[in-house]
Amino acid sequence: MQSNYNLITNCRICNSSKIDSILNLGNQPLANALRNNDDLSEEIYIPLEIIRCENCTTVQLSVNVNPDIMFKEYFWVTGTTKTATDHLEKLSIFISTRCTKKDPSLLEVGSNDGSLLKILKKRNFGQLYGVDPAKNIVDSINEPGVIFYTDFFNYNFTNSFVESNGKVDIVVARNVFSHVPDLVNCLKGVANLLNEDGLFVIEFHEATKILTEIHYDSIYHEHTFYHSIKSISEAAKIVGLNPFDIEISPISGGSFILFLSNQHKEKTSKLKDLENNENNSGVLTIEKWEKFANESLKNLQEIREYISNNKNKRLCGFGASARSSTLINAIGGECKNIVGLADNNPLKQGKLSPGAHLEIQNPNNLINSNIDIIIIFPFNFEKEIIRFLKDTLNWSGEIYLPLPNSPRVIEI
C-alpha cells in the first residue's frame, strides 16, 4: 500500500483476478494537479495504466488513487465552455421528458459549479441538491434555493442525506461515476436515495468511442473506469437498478446518457440497438483493446516527430485540460518546444501544467505573441476553439490536431 495509491489485483466489479494489461503510459502526475510558480514541493507521480477484466470485460485503471489528493481542490468548471452549457440545456429536456412526476426533487452527484442545477431551476423541478468534494468550487457558488453539500458521494452519504431530507425523485451523475473506485457502493447509494418510482440518469464517455478513435488522452488517474453500456448495466443490476433508455451525448468526444429505474421497465428499441452495436464493435474483446494500444503508441510517436520537426517555430498548446496533461506527459521531452498553454479558465491562468510545467496563460496574451502553430489538445472542443481563434482573436496560422485518430494539420 502506497501513501497516495495502491495497485489493484482484482476487478472492481466482479472481483476476478484474471486481469490483463492493455496500455501503460508510464508514471505520470495527477492530471489536474496544477502548480504555482513558487511551489517547490515534490510532485506526485503515479503509474498510469489501463487493464481489462477477462471475466466481465470491464476496462479500468490499474491503481486506486487517494481521492483526497485529486478532488478536494479542483480547477475544471463546467460553465467554462459553450459546448458543455449547450449540452446541459438538452440534458435538462431529456430528464424532464422521462420524469412524469410533478415538481420532482433532484440531486446531482459531482455538481461542480452548479451549471446543470441552475438550468433545472428554471424548469418545473422541486427541491434541487448538489454534492461535490471540491470545496473551492462549492464555496464559490451563490445559487439561492439550491442546497449544496461538500462531500464525497457514497452509500454512507446517502444514509445521512435521507435521514435529513428524505428520498429524492431523480439522481443525476454526469461523467463522475467513471471516477470512483467503488462503483457498486455508489450505485447502492443511488438506489438507497431514490424513491420507489425514481429515475437515475448517468452520463459516461463510451468505451466504443475511446477504442475506435483512440481516445487514449482520456486515460488519467481520475478516470478509474472506461465504461461500456454492458459494464454500467452489470454493476447497476447488482443493486437492483434497471437500464431502460439511452441518449447519445457529444461530451468527451462521444458519451452515452443511460436512464435507469428501481423498477423494471421495458427497454426502448434505441437502447437495444446500441447494446447490439456495442456487442458487434469488438469493445468487449481483448483483441480490439490490444489494437487500440498499438495505435495509441503509434500516434504518440507521430506527435513527437511533428513537434521535433517544427522546433524552430513558436508552438503553443490550447487547453490546459486533463486530456492535455496525459498527452503532454506521454509525449515527454519534445514538449519543451511548446512555449505555453492557452486556456480561458481564469482559475488555471498563471499556474503551471503538471509534469511539464508549461505556463497556463490567457489566450489573448499568449496567442498574440507571434505564435506560428497552435496544438489543440482537448479535441472534444475543437470547433469551439477554432471559432474562438478566428472570430475573437483574429488569429491565422497552422493548427495541429493530435487526436482523434491520426494527427491532422489545418490552416485557418
Split at pLDDT 50, 70, 90, the class of 1 is: very low
Average pLDDT, integer, range 149-154: 92
Q: Are residues 146 and 267 in the same domain?
A: yes
Q: Are residues 278 and 133 in the same domain?
A: yes
d(CA 261, CA 246): 12
Query: Could you give the CA distance from residue 135 to residue 145 in angstroms, rounded to a whole number?
Result: 19
* pLDDT score at 410: 95
In tens, the pLDDT along 173-229 reads 998 998 888 999 999 999 999 999 999 999 999 999 999 999 999 999 999 999 999
Q: Are residues 139 and 165 in the same domain?
A: yes
User: Do 29 and 43 form a contact (C-beta atoms < 8 A)?
Assistant: yes
In a domain, 30, yes or no: no
372-382 residue pLDDT tens: 999 999 998 89
Contact 256, 247 (CB under 8 A): yes
CA distance 69 to 92: 31
| Radius of gyration in angstroms for the set of CA atoms belonging to the chain, rounded to a whole number | 21
- Residue 118, CA atoms < 13 Å, CB-side half-sphere: 11
Asked if 160 and 138 touch (Cβ cutoff 8 Å), the reply is no
Distance CA 57, CA 123 (A): 39
Per the structure, the complete domain to which residue 311 belongs is given by: 288-411
Does one domain contain both 338 and 251? no
CATH number of the domain enclosing 367: 3.40.50.720
Mean pLDDT of the chain: 92
Total domains, the chain: 2
Average pLDDT over residues 112-136: 90
324 and 219 both lie in a single domain? no
Does 198 share its domain with 135?
yes
Which one-letter DSSP state was computed for residue 41? S
Beta strands in 102-254 (DSSP E): 106-109, 128-132, 146-150, 168-174, 194-205, 225-226, 242-249
Give yes or no: residues 143 and 262 share one domain.
yes
Domain containing 131 — which CATH number? 3.40.50.150
Is there a contact between 390 and 286 (Cβ–Cβ < 8 Å)?
no
**The cell 446517502 sits on which residue?**
158
- Together in a domain, 262 and 342: no
Domain match, 319 and 179 both: no
Residue 367 and residue 223 in one domain: no
CA dist 169 → 113, 116, 174, 190, 321 (Å)? 22, 16, 17, 11, 33
Half-sphere exposure of 291 (CA within 13 A, CB side): 14
Q: How far apart are CA 285 and CA 218, in angstroms?
A: 20
401 lies in some domain: yes
Q: Are residues 171 and 131 in the same domain?
A: yes
Q: Sheet harboring 168-174: ordered strands across?
A: 146-150, 128-132, 106-109, 168-174, 194-205, 255-261, 242-249
Per-residue burial over 107-120, b if 16 or more Cβ lie within 10 Å, else e, is: bbbbbbbbbbbbbb
Residue 352 has what DSSP assignment?
B
d(CA 293, CA 281): 16
Is there a contact between 62 and 100 (Cβ–Cβ < 8 Å)?
Answer: no
Percent of the chain topping pLDDT 90: 80
Q: Does residue 41 sit within a domain?
A: no
DSSP string for 225-238: EE--HHHHHHHHHH
CB count in 10 Å sphere of residue 233: 17
pLDDT band at 348 (very low <50, low <70, confident <90, very high): very high
What tens digit of pLDDT does each residue of 267-324 get?
Answer: 999 999 999 999 999 999 999 999 999 999 999 999 999 999 999 999 999 999 999 9
Q: Tell me, yes or no, whether 129 and 221 share the same domain.
A: yes
Q: Which of 269, 284, 299 is the last residue of a domain?
A: 284
Q: Is the pLDDT of residue 82 over 90?
A: no
Is the pLDDT confidence value at 391 over 60? Answer: yes
Mention every residue, 6+ apart, whose C-beta is less than 8 A from residue 316.
338, 339, 340, 341, 342, 366, 367, 371, 373, 374, 375
Last residue of a domain, one of 253, 284, 315: 284
Residues found in the chain: 412
| pLDDT tens column, 34-53 | 999 888 788 999 999 999 99
Asked whether residue 326 is assigned to any structural domain, the reply reads yes
Residue 116 pLDDT more than 80? yes
In a domain, 405, yes or no: yes
